[in-house]
Amino acid sequence: MTEWVKITIDGKSYSAPRGRYLLEVCEELGIYVPNFCYYYKLPPQAACRMCLVRIENIRKLQTACTVRVQDGMVVTTNSDEIIGARQGMVDFILANHPLDCPMCDKGGECELQYMSLTYGNLFGRYMETKEHRDEYQLSPFIWLDPQRCILCYRCIRVCDEWVGDHALGVLGRGAHSEIIGNKRDGTLECENCGNCVEVCPVGALTSANFRFRARPWDIEDTITTCTYCADGCQLKLSVRDGKVVRAWAKDMTGINMEFLCLKGRYGNEFVNSPDRVHAPLIRRQGRLEQASWDEAIGLVASRLKEITATHGAESIACLGSPRLTNEVLYVLNKFARDVIGTPWISHIAEHDWRPLFNMLTAPLATQNDIRSGKKTLLLIGGNPPEYNPLTAYSLRYAVRENGSRLIIVNARPLLRLPEESEFFHIRPGSEPALLLALLDESQLNLVAEITNLSVERLGALRRALEESEDLVVLIGPEVSGAALEAAGALGARWATERRRVRLLPLMRFNNSLGALDMGLTGDLPAPEDIGAHIKALYLVGVDPIRTYGDRWREALARAEFVVVHELFTTETAEYAHVVLPAMSFAEIDGTFTNNAGQVQRVRRALESGGERRPDWVILRLVAKGMGVEMDVRGSAMAMLKDLAERVPGYEGITYEQIDAEGAVQTHRALVKEVSWNDLLDRLNAQVAALDRNRDMLTEPPALGTGLFERGTLIEHVPLMAQAFGWDGSRSRDDR
């Protein structure tokens, strides 16, 4: 229970929660106390000394960022003494700081600029020479200008606390102090998330992609949802002259607060790529040649009709990408099932998550669920710092701020998760057995043998769950088949009146869950099927060769007709008969559904060049060419309305609601009755087939395993290609 105390600030009485930092109390009361080194939810530093205030009966001025509010405290934040002290501090900070604001990349959005304007002296009093230090590159993504640094240590703290990378520190003493990276030569070896750049109040840390390319007042920001992992961070895309120039999240209150990962921050410039397909392409004499929309649509429509007539509608398979918006996926599903009439409608995925959702007995856990309140967090498999960075951020937050208990079950030790976590090191591939232990206590001996955990350790794990009052289970892609059903059933097994259980599948793509929800749930055709009973492929934003390998190369070569909607001429596009130029996530409106089942907005940030069209418009045109007028309305906003009427769980979701709430939770029906015998039979069969002799893995997965992975979109980001040495030819090792 919060205890409220009476305090007096500048002669007025207020009540404030006892023990809060005075600075935060002032901020909430609308009494502005200037500060640099204070940052919300980061350890207080008392380094910049800007927030000095006078507290009655204390001899020296006190830093408001470190003083905790007590009953009867009498505070002065605004007196000649305080104003003088602030002016003195600004003088000190500006002493060796370059005063070439017009030349500085931070000009116009610099906290020191604001502070000097409001609290500084009219005339500089520093008459000495400044000590110049050259700027240099800390990493391919991050630059440091040490002379501009005011040593607020925000960057070091976000690296320690938000990211868990501990990649930044201080070198040198006194006025020679300098922020420095963790490598021997002072540069950085880290995940390059750029959160340090984001929190830098001055122009000391800058991003290689954005520095000196734009001014804050000549860019336009659009808030949208990231197009990489399934966590669904909110980001601001800054656009200048029709080009994306940066992505950032500062001062936002989306599900990710101010956090972004490497991909979210630096992975968006594929949108600007000159390699984008800009007009429809038709294969003539083996080569893709530019064609008009009418010609291309006419060709696609007539070939689809012919193939339907000759081989039946079931000979056409439609595949969508889990990166597409719900609206596009919704239309694609209708197109496949209603216009073409084929059951072969599915999406390309790294993992089949259907069993989990078929057996879901607990609500999905949001990032906020992880971060709020003290709870027990059980991570089975997965590697959140690499594949779900926001989840990793939230796990660190939960442990740090709430003292939540984090239990990690993994075949390998994971990096960048809190030291306080408990680690259960299991044999690779034995995750299903572990789920068996969680459902069936009588099988601990068997599970111990398979997982290489002792019966006592398994008992300890079960006890941890028994002791928990609020349990979140995070499920990695190592859990599959019946084990995934078992994971879905954890709610039925563990939830009680005093224990809440929530589940979070660590899905891979920004709209993995949306693709399932929108009905792209058919089976994926096997490569052998193609050319056999599957004659034509309709591919929307997918590259099966890249995802599934060379077997698809031959399969595509056997197909009679292949249509691709794409941003780039992928390897798969090279086998296509028609390539239709699509718009990227930055150029359209729509929604994504993240792994927590939250629907968030995708907003058009810029005009797409060329003759590109949104995927749903293309689908409608093809249908029309085939003589079918699709029952699809003419805007993404209206489509969401239709979709919300027809897709279970999406009832009533509108743009207005998303705009107001940020993320809107879908209502997922939970399985009420689990037939335990059947489930355990299936799970036992899966467990019986596991290899019990695999060697234990002791090395953690390397830094960048997921984050530095090459992909269809990210390889077209010049900075990424440069940083990771990706050349024009596509690598085959990074699927």
User: With binding defined as CB under 8 A, does residue 464 bind other proteins?
Assistant: no
> CA dist 52 to 149, 293, 660, 720, Å?
21, 66, 37, 43
Q: In terms of CB distance, is 128 or 134 closer to other proteins?
A: 128
CA distance 733 to 728: 15
Q: In terms of CB distance, is 53 or 448 closer to other proteins?
A: 53
Q: Which stretch binds other proteins (CB under 8 A): 120-128, 445-453, 576-584, 599-607?
A: 120-128
Among the listed residues 2, 13, 30, 128, the single contact to other proteins using CB under 8 A: 128
What's the DSSP call for residue 421?
A: S
The nearest distance, CB 169 to other proteins, in angstroms, is: 8
Residues 6 or more apart from 438 whose CB is under 8 A from it? 461, 462, 465, 486, 490, 493, 494
Instruction: Count Cβ atoms below 10 Å from residue 450 Cβ, excluding itself.
Output: 23
Q: Which helix (H) or strand (E) holds 248?
A: strand 243-248
CA distance 220 to 430: 50
The nearest distance, CB 494 to other proteins, in angstroms, is: 33
User: With binding defined as CB under 8 A, does residue 46 bind other proteins?
Assistant: yes
CA distance 268 to 587: 12
Among the listed residues 173, 184, 498, 672, the single contact to other proteins using CB under 8 A: 173
Among the listed residues 48, 219, 336, 530, the single contact to other proteins using CB under 8 A: 48
Q: In terms of CB distance, is 90 or 300 closer to other proteins?
A: 90
- Give how many residues touch other proteins by CB under 8 A: 35
Sheet holding 62-63, edge to edge: 12-17, 4-9, 74-76, 52-55, 62-63
Among the listed residues 6, 125, 284, 667, the single contact to other proteins using CB under 8 A: 125
Q: In terms of CB distance, is 204 or 380 closer to other proteins?
A: 204
Residues 6 or more apart from 622 whose CB is under 8 A from it? 297, 300, 301, 304, 335, 339
Among the listed residues 10, 18, 27, 44, the single contact to other proteins using CB under 8 A: 44
Token pair, residue 110, equals 């610099």
Q: In terms of CB distance, is 65 or 291 closer to other proteins?
A: 65
Residue 570 · residue 582 · CB < 8 Å:
no
Please report, as residue ranges, which positions from 689 to 708 form the binding site for other proteins (by CB under 8 A).
Answer: none
The nearest distance, CB 59 to other proteins, in angstroms, is: 8
Q: In terms of CB distance, is 128 or 629 closer to other proteins?
A: 128
User: With binding defined as CB under 8 A, does residue 124 bind other proteins?
Assistant: no
Contact flags string 248-287 toward other proteins, x per CB under 8 A:
----------------------------------------
Among the listed residues 172, 341, 610, 652, the single contact to other proteins using CB under 8 A: 172
Residues 6 or more apart from 687 whose CB is under 8 A from it? 432, 433, 436, 446, 447, 450
User: With binding defined as CB under 8 A, does residue 177 bind other proteins?
Assistant: yes
Token pair, residue 203, equals 């122009």
Q: In terms of CB distance, is 180 or 542 closer to other proteins?
A: 180
Q: What angle do CA 417, 199, 606 make, to 5 degrees?
A: 100
Q: In terms of CB distance, is 123 or 217 closer to other proteins?
A: 123
Q: In terms of CB distance, is 70 or 421 closer to other proteins?
A: 70
List b or e across 347-369, with b for residues whose CB sees 16 or more CB atoms inside 10 angstroms. bbbebbbebbbebbbbbbbbbeb
User: With binding defined as CB under 8 A, does residue 174 bind other proteins?
Assistant: yes
Please report, as residue ranges, which positions from 55 to 94 form the binding site for other proteins (by CB under 8 A).
Answer: 59-61, 66, 84-85, 88-89, 91-93
The nearest distance, CB 16 to other proteins, in angstroms, is: 19
Residue 543 · residue 516 · CB < 8 Å:
no
Token pair, residue 236, equals 């601001």
User: With binding defined as CB under 8 A, does residue 98 bind other proteins?
Assistant: no
Q: Which stretch binds other proteins (CB under 8 A): 69-77, 174-182, 393-401, 725-733?
A: 174-182
CA distance 665 to 600: 9
Q: Which stretch binds other proteins (CB under 8 A): 119-127, 240-248, 282-290, 422-430?
A: 119-127
The nearest distance, CB 139 to other proteins, in angstroms, is: 22
Among the listed residues 151, 435, 483, 714, the single contact to other proteins using CB under 8 A: 151
The nearest distance, CB 180 to other proteins, in angstroms, is: 12
CA distance 344 to 354: 16
Amino acid identity, position 566: E
Helix/strand/coil percentages in the chain, nearest 5: 35, 20, 45
How are beta strands 168-171 and 178-181 bridged, if at all? antiparallel
The nearest distance, CB 95 to other proteins, in angstroms, is: 5
Q: In terms of CB distance, is 172 or 634 closer to other proteins?
A: 172
The nearest distance, CB 595 to other proteins, in angstroms, is: 37
Among the listed residues 5, 20, 70, 95, the single contact to other proteins using CB under 8 A: 95
CA distance 22 to 8: 11
Among the listed residues 7, 16, 23, 52, the single contact to other proteins using CB under 8 A: 52
The nearest distance, CB 75 to other proteins, in angstroms, is: 16
Q: In terms of CB distance, is 60 or 184 closer to other proteins?
A: 60
Token pair, residue 485, equals 């059903």
The nearest distance, CB 375 to other proteins, in angstroms, is: 24
Please report, as residue ranges, which positions from 561 to 620 form the binding site for other proteins (by CB under 8 A).
Answer: none
Token pair, residue 540, equals 């929307």
The nearest distance, CB 173 to other proteins, in angstroms, is: 5
Residue 561 bridge partners (DSSP): 536
Q: Which stretch binds other proteins (CB under 8 A): 53-61, 111-119, 375-383, 471-479?
A: 53-61
Tokens 């000190």, residue?
92
Sheet holding 136-137, edge to edge: 136-137, 142-144, 205-207
User: With binding defined as CB under 8 A, does residue 345 bind other proteins?
Assistant: no
The nearest distance, CB 121 to other proteins, in angstroms, is: 11
Q: Which helix (H) or strand (E) holds 625?
A: helix 615-625
> CA dist 144 to 133, 134, 182, 202, 637, Å?
10, 9, 14, 11, 43
User: With binding defined as CB under 8 A, does residue 170 bind other proteins?
Assistant: yes
Q: What angle do CA 251, 252, 256 make, to 5 degrees?
A: 120
User: With binding defined as CB under 8 A, does residue 41 bind other proteins?
Assistant: no
Q: In terms of CB distance, is 88 or 413 closer to other proteins?
A: 88
Q: Which stretch binds other proteins (CB under 8 A): 42-50, 215-223, 353-361, 508-516?
A: 42-50
Among the listed residues 2, 13, 57, 129, the single contact to other proteins using CB under 8 A: 129
Q: Where along the sequence are the contacts to other proteins (CB under 8 A)?
A: 44, 46-50, 52, 59-61, 66, 84-85, 88-89, 91-93, 95-96, 125-129, 150-151, 169-170, 172-177
